[in-house]
């Protein structure tokens, strides 16, 4: 169901009903951290938090846009003129994806469009990917471009890499475009093949944002990437995807102890992602919980991207769940969020434990989001009856 405020805002601004609608979700990564740039495996899940866009084609080549989250900032540019950076930060996501669509040689004309979203911005749920995928999805449908979900995801990633200057991988856009209902998506970052993995219905999905101020994230991220590349090249490999623990042990004395642990995380994490997908698929939730917590310990002890605050939330939640669920740092680390899967019946005790203990121990308050796994991009024509 498209947000009624979105349609009435469009109607008020453009004096007509929108012809098309598109919707794309935010996401959380369930397991598979820092494996993407090593051409490994990830297992993200799309969430019910989503970005919606409604629009109508124009005869000329002008794109006019609004976002309900920034109602006073209007966007307007011509697709036949060089596309410069926008006055508004959000406008660059729109311009960035249109540059990529034009680079494909697509025969585009303009669009009037309005955006809205309930994906929290900058909280690690990837509101930017949801925005890119929803907009590309709208143009794809309206102009019959016949792009696959994978191509849509790639264009969103290129927009971030080339116009926003964020060197992200393709995971966020691919899960937003391609997620199946009530499933996580196993993505092989080497060849981008995907497999939907059903999430058992009785499991609840929580994202708990630590609100820890992220400081060193970019420089530390680059250091981790460099460490992985050093070990791969010592092994004569392009990436750690091709490496086994036996390979790593052979060069134990050659690489530094720290680099050894960085590579150990990546190699073991890839195995955990495949095992976890298997465990979920076969409803072996105990095994799945064990793997999730092992993944956290690997990030904490070997990859060293957690902080006391996120480790603290994980401890609080693991104690509250007493084996009936699991919790781990999600995303790049150095703060950010943790993801928890547990039985629906235990959600309240998790929330209570975090509310009672986290602020007391760390002086911060956490945002707890109860999430539903959701499907990916959908775009269609709107059936415009009066008042729709």
Catalytic residues: 172
CA distance 303 to 289: 20
Residue 310: other Cβ atoms inside 10 A: 30
249-271 b/e (C-beta count within 10 Å ≥ 16 → b): eeeeeebeeebbbbbbbbbbbbe
| Span from 42-50, 94-102, 127-135, 303-311 in contact with Mg ion (CB under 5 A) | 127-135
The smaller minimum CB distance to ligand ADP, of residues 216 and 254, is found at 216
131 makes contact with ligand ADP (CB under 6 A) = yes
Residues 220-249 interacting with ligand ADP (rule: CB under 6 A) = none
Among 23, 35, 38, 126, binds ligand ADP (CB under 6 A): 126
Judged by CB under 6 A, does residue 337 bind ligand ADP?
no
- Quick one: which of 35, 128, 157, 210 contacts Mg ion (CB under 5 A)? 128
Q: Is 128 one of the binding residues for ligand ADP (CB under 6 A)?
A: yes
Q: Does 162 bind ligand ADP (CB under 6 A)?
A: no
- Residue nearest to ligand ADP as judged by C-beta position: 90
Helices 127-142 & 171-178 angle (0-180, nearest 10): 50
Which range, of 76-84, 125-133, 174-182, 372-380, touches ligand ADP by CB under 6 A? 125-133
Closest CA to 217 of 371, 329, 344: 329
Q: Which of residues 23, 29, 56, 127 is near ligand ADP by CB under 6 A? A: 127
Exactly one of 8, 76, 80, 121 binds ligand ADP (CB under 6 A); which one?
121
Helix (H) or strand (E) holding 216: none
φ/ψ of residue 379, rounded to 5: -140, 135
Stretch that binds Mg ion, among 119-127, 136-144, 352-360, 380-388 (CB under 5 A): 119-127
Q: x/- string (CB under 6 A) for ligand ADP, residues 37-76?
A: --------------x---------------x-xx------
Query: H helices within the chain, ranges in order?
Result: 4-14, 89-103, 127-142, 149-159, 171-178, 217-234, 245-250, 257-281, 285-298, 308-321, 347-362
Exposed (0-12), middle (13-18) or buried (19+): which is 306, by Cβ within 10 Å? Answer: buried
The span from the CA of 283 to the CA of 100, in Å, is 41
* Residues in contact with Mg ion, shown as a per-residue x/- string from 351 to 380 under the rule CB under 5 A: ------------------------------
3-state secondary structure 33-78: CCCHHHCCEEEEEEEEEEEEEEEEECCCCEEEEEECCCCCCCEEEE
Is 124 an interacting residue with respect to ligand ADP (CB under 6 A)?
yes
Which positions lie near Mg ion, rule CB under 5 A?
126, 128
Which positions lie near ligand ADP, rule CB under 6 A?
51, 67, 69-70, 89-90, 93, 115, 117, 121-122, 124-128, 131
């Amino acid at each position: 169901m498209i947000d009624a405020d979105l349609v009435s805002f469009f109607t008020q601004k453009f004096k007509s009903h929108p012809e098309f609608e598109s919707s794309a979700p935010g996401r959380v990564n369930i397991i598979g951290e820092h494996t993407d740039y090593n051409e490994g495996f990830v297992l993200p899940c799309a969430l019910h938090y989503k970005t919606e866009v409604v629009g109508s084609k124009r005869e000329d080549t002008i794109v006019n846009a609004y976002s309900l989250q920034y109602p006073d900032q209007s966007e307007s540019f011509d697709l036949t003129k060089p596309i410069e950076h926008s006055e508004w930060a959000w406008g660059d996501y729109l311009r960035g994806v249109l540059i990529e669509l034009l680079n494909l040689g697509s025969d585009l004309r303009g669009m009037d469009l309005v955006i809205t979203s309930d994906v929290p911005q900058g909280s690690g749920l990837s509101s930017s990917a949801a925005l890119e995928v929803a907009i590309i999805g709208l143009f794809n449908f309206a102009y019959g471009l016949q792009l696959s979900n994978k191509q849509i995801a790639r264009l969103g990633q290129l927009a971030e890499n080339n116009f926003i200057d964020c060197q992200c991988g393709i995971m966020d856009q691919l899960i937003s475009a391609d997620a199946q209902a009530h499933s996580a998506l196993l993505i092989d970052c080497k060849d981008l093949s995907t497999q939907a993995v059903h999430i058992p219905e009785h499991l609840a999905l929580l994202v708990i944002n630590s609100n820890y101020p992220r400081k060193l994230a970019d420089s530390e991220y680059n250091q981790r990437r460099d460490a992985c590349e050093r070990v791969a090249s010592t092994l004569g490999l392009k990436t750690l995807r091709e490496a086994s623990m036996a390979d790593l042990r052979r060069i134990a004395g050659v690489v530094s102890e720290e680099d050894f642990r960085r590579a150990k995380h990546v190699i073991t994490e890839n195995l955990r992602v495949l095992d976890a997908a298997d465990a979920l698929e076969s409803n072996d939730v105990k095994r799945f919980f064990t793997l999730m917590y092992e993944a956290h310990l690997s990030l904490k002890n070997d990859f060293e991207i957690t902080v006391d605050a996120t480790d603290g939330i994980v401890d609080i939640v693991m104690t509250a769940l007493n084996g009936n669920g699991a919790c781990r740092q999600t995303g790049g680390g150095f703060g950010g969020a943790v993801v928890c899967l547990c039985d629906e019946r235990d959600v309240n005790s998790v929330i209570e434990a975090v509310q009672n203990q986290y602020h007391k121990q760390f002086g911060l308050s956490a945002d707890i989001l109860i999430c539903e796994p959701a499907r990916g991009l959908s775009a269609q024509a709107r059936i415009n009856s009066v008042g729709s």
